[in-house]
Amino acid sequence: MIKENIDYINGQIIKHCERVGRSSDEVVLVAVSKTKPMSDIQKAYDCGQNIFGENKVQEIKDKQPKLPKASWHMIGHLQTNKVKYIIDKVDLIHSLDSIKLAQTIEKEAKKHDRIMDVLIQINVAKEESKFGISVNETESFIKKVGSFKHLKIRGLMTIAPYVVDAEENRPIFRKMKEIFIDIQNKNIDNVDMGILSMGMTNDYGVAIEEGATMIRVGTGIFGIRN
Ligand SMILES: *Cc1c(COP(=O)(O)O)cnc(C)c1O
């Protein structure tokens, strides 16, 4: 099933890109493997899927050493005291949402003599339950984080609300794209706005149509989680 699911999603990426005249090369698929066993991850990897997203530090710690050839992304909320466990295991942190976290990533990345790529998580939908920087604070936050030397801002990320009809999230994705372009145009030091991470199993098609360059799909690849 995993192979069929990945083939289907890659087909959908092409379809939604065509609908709005984008090239499907612009969209990267992150397979969200949280709670799933290595055997499933290995199956996906064998189909050519090489980026995996996890939302728990413990799972990255456990899984990354078993498949170090893959690229691992931290997509969930990250506590500062846990940064040290993943700093040498992930290629991208999608969820930078505070200066305190940026400071910790800076410190740990420096220790490892590396530059950590990060996305700024934006709470566009203004959901109280969600982490993320508010739209109004985004620019000043990015300017502050831009001064950190061992951290590179690669783009923005959002988690849209859960909706049955993906169309309901279209305005949120559109707003994200606007903020993305706006920041891009400001040419802020140490900021390279290339990645717009948005869209999950239920709404990635709409997210792609609105400009996502990275989608995070879990259930659609691995099936429902317990
Ligand atoms: C779980 C999760 C996803 C994937 O969700 P699905 O609906 O299973 O595709 C994407 N992004 C984040 C941040 C997640 O925690």
State the pLDDT at residue 59: 98
Is-contact 111 146, C-beta < 8 A?
no
pLDDT of 127 reads 80
Q: 116 φ, ψ to 5°?
A: -95, 125
Give pLDDT < 50 ranges for the chain.
none
Question: Is the separation of the CB atoms in 109 and 150 below 8 Å?
Answer: yes
Q: How far apart are CA 105 and CA 116, in angstroms?
A: 8
201 Cβ below 6 A of ligand 1: yes
pLDDT at 126: 82
Would the CB of 75 count as within 6 Å of ligand 1?
yes
For residue 54, report the distance from its CA to the centre of ligand 1, in Å.
9
According to the model, what pLDDT value does residue 128 have? Answer: 80
Residue 41 contacts residue 52 (beta carbons within 8 Å): yes
CB 75 within 8 A of CB 216: yes
225 CA → ligand 1 middle, Å: 11
pTM score above 0.95: yes
Residue 5 to residue 43: CA distance in whole angstroms: 11
Alpha-helical runs (H) found in the chain: 2-19, 38-46, 57-63, 83-86, 99-111, 138-145, 170-185, 204-209, 219-222
> Could you read off the pLDDT of 171-212 as tens digits, one per residue?
999 999 999 999 999 999 889 999 999 999 999 999 999 999
Q: How far is CA 107 from CA 102, 103, 150, 156, in A?
A: 9, 6, 8, 22
User: Is residue 94 within 8 Å of 122, Cβ to Cβ?
Assistant: no
